Amino acid sequence: MKTLNNETADIGIGTLIIFIAMVLVAAVAAIMLLYSTGELQQKATITAKDAPSKVTTNIVVDSVYGDRVNFTVPGLQPGIQGISIRIKPEVGTVSMDLRQIIITKMNSSEDVVLKYSNNSNTVNSFGASTVRDEDRSFSADAPVLNSGDLVDIEFHTLDYTKPILIPRQTISLSVNQERGASVNLELTAPNSFGNDRYVKLYP
């Protein structure tokens, strides 16, 4: 009995198997590529939405004054008892919640973190009062700044014997926002306060 060998058929079947394997590999690669592209697009969309807020959300410091009166004792004190920072949102800024702001007060001997409170007579806190609020959106319980608002951020020492600043002394303030760059100030008290209650520290 004669056995027939069909080498051409064997080669064809082998080629077909290789072709199917290549198609499967290409399909898997295509699925992975589509998944990666979708994930990158999603991240790019989130970044694009978040970027304008980081760029435009900023605080402009209009002025800083020191107050030599402490509510616990009468009369002017030798040192500055309270600090008032007048701020406004930069043009194009989205709404800004003062409850999300942290102020760091630093000098040669201490580093204190201040957080918002609607009662500024608490330790390590600051309060705020409106100077201009045309849309009446700002309140002590909901201290939200909008474009055009002007607000005084205020904090003071609870112990009049421990003033925030004395003549010739320097402190650093860092206003850290929820979004946007921090605002850093270096405040130096003048050589003498004279008989003035309010002392201009910036600009």
How much is the pTM? Answer: 0.70
CATH fold for domain 59-202: Immunoglobulin-like (2.60.40)
What's the pLDDT score for residue 122?
Answer: 84
Residue 64 host element (H or E):
strand 59-67
Residue with tokens 């079947």: 13
How far apart CA 5 and CA 82 sit, in angstroms, is 103
Residue 184, both tokens: 């850093």
Q: Return the pLDDT at 36.
A: 66
Per-position pLDDT tens, the chain of length 203: 555 555 565 666 777 788 888 888 877 777 877 766 655 565 544 444 444 444 444 789 999 999 999 988 999 999 999 999 999 988 877 788 999 999 999 988 889 999 999 887 788 999 999 999 988 889 999 999 888 899 999 999 999 999 999 999 999 999 998 777 889 999 999 999 999 999 999 99
**DSSP classification of residue 69:** B
pLDDT given at position 11: 66
